[in-house]
Structure 1
Amino acid sequence: MDKELLLEWLQGRELIYSFLARIYQDGPAEDLLAALAGEKFLEELAASSRNEELAAGCRKMQAELTARASDLEAYRQELQEDYNRLFFGPGHLEAPPWESVYRSKEHLLFGEETLAVREFYRSFGLESKKKNREPDDHLGLEMEFMAWLSQAAAAKVQAGEDASEFLQGQRRFLKEHLEQWVPALCSDIQGAARTKFFRGLALFTRGWLQVDVAEMEAVLEDFCGGEKS
């Protein structure tokens, strides 16, 4: 893969991980919904992807956004209620967005998984911006970390420097963390969400990770000769 193609791939990944980070952390913000309704991001992503779940999720989200665009504020409020039920509270959460809840035997926050994620961030010189306010293994923070790694790798490539540390770090984080729990979370979202938007988001997320894992392996094979960290 030449430099320009690698940069384009990394920048595209940063964009998608940043989008997922924001929607899972902040919910259906007015400006984000307006941008999605007015642009062709989801439509173009669906058209370009060969992953059926990713494409179906994008189309489902876009269809509901388009249908409700005439009263976006009422729709935003409906989505916010769904978001709160799924991820935020108060009360029982249908899809708790923390790795430790899905991977620990007790299904509790701040387990070994949370500390492992914190240590992974630290290995790249990072600390969660929400430390002591939000567990480090919140899905939005994990997606934000992947976006940061993509940006860091792109900066190295652009400077003509070795980006393998950041590429291999992404492969490790995908395999050791995101792949281990996000598919189960997405299944819970699909089963509990009341809006097509969030059911679509679950498909989008699961499909995107499938795509990214496969593409990461191919890029590392080409870029680093398949060397594992």
Structure 2
Amino acid sequence: MTETIQRADTVEALRSRAHWYRLLAGAFAEEPQSGFLRELRGEQCLADLAELGVDFDDDFLGHDEEMLTEELAAEYTMLFIAPGGFPPVESVRLQGGYRQSAVNETRDAYAAEGFAVQSGRFATFEDHLSVEMQFIAALLEGQAEALVAGNENEARRIGKVVKRFWVKHLGRWSRGFAQIVEGATEHSFYREMARLLEAFTLAELEVLGLDVADEDGARLRAPKPDAVTRPMQCGGAAT
């Protein structure tokens, strides 16, 4: 009986963590849609978020849904799309441009577990924060299912995949990215989601027993891609 209870607690914890991964993925995936905002402003969700220290201002809680959707669409564009913004994309944050090596690395990681990126309303990069978070959420749900089925070897295998992905990807840039968003945004929704992302990252690294350096560092300017810094080879070898 004790073993069964412990396993149930572990399964519940895995599913709970997966839920928060998906919530954060939704916050940064695109301009928040009305359905997502409606759920987030629900009484139970606000209570759960408050327990984690999330404290929205009236600009999120007091505005009607249509106005809030428009305001957050403008803020999303300013933060993540407009020139000078901070796209939530690993390649951009760590390698200075879109479609750097992180794209292939994350795509390979997804494929190894039978996952593939499906575009939503817009084209999505494999190393987008929301995709990386959803991948871990799916892994945690799979780990929980393995425990329920009594397949502890599979559960351990998935746990190793989760740790490896954090070391190679999320752990290297999510904290610095969160810090720069918190400092740049003028809306409490993104301020609180950024704070939650940083706190959640620290909590996950502790749960996973990992020590991963933050290579993002909340830099205003990402490093230039290798293709930009390499000497030109046109017309002969560079000297």
TM-score, structure 1 as length reference: 0.81
The runs of 5 or more residues in structure 1 that have no matched partner are 50-54, 219-229
1:38 aligns with 2:42: yes
Residues 170/97 of structure 1: CA separation in 2 closer, same or farther (3 Å cut): same
Deviation per residue, 1:154-174 (Å, 9 max, x gap): 110111112011111111111
* Aligned equivalent of 2:55: 59
Deviation per residue, 1:42-86 (Å, 9 max, x gap): 432432x4xxxxx2xx1236x643233xx2211221111101111
Once the two structures are superposed, the pairs formed by residues 51-130 of structure 1 within 5 Å of their partners are 55=53, 58-60=54-56, 64-68=59-63, 71-87=64-80, 89=81, 91-104=82-95, 107-130=96-119
Letter in 2 for 1:28: P
Letter in 2 for 1:155: E
Task: Report which structure shows greater RCO (CA 8 Å, sep ≥6).
Answer: 1
Determine which structure has the larger helix proportion and give its number: 1
The runs of 5 or more residues in structure 2 that have no matched partner are 211-239
Runs (4+) off by over 3 Å: 130-133
RMSD, aligned α-carbons: 2.1
Shift of 1:134: 2.4
Deviation per residue, 1:14-54 (Å, 9 max, x gap): 1111111222113311011111212322432432x4xxxxx
Q: Percent identity?
A: 25
* Aligned equivalent of 1:196: 188
User: Any conservation in 1 of the 2:30–2:76 contact (CA below 8 Å)?
Assistant: no
Alignment length (residue pairs): 203
TM-score, structure 2 as length reference: 0.78
Shift of 1:93: 4.9
User: Matched residue of 1:166: which SS?
Assistant: helix
User: Any conservation in 1 of the 2:59–2:188 contact (CA below 8 Å)?
Assistant: yes
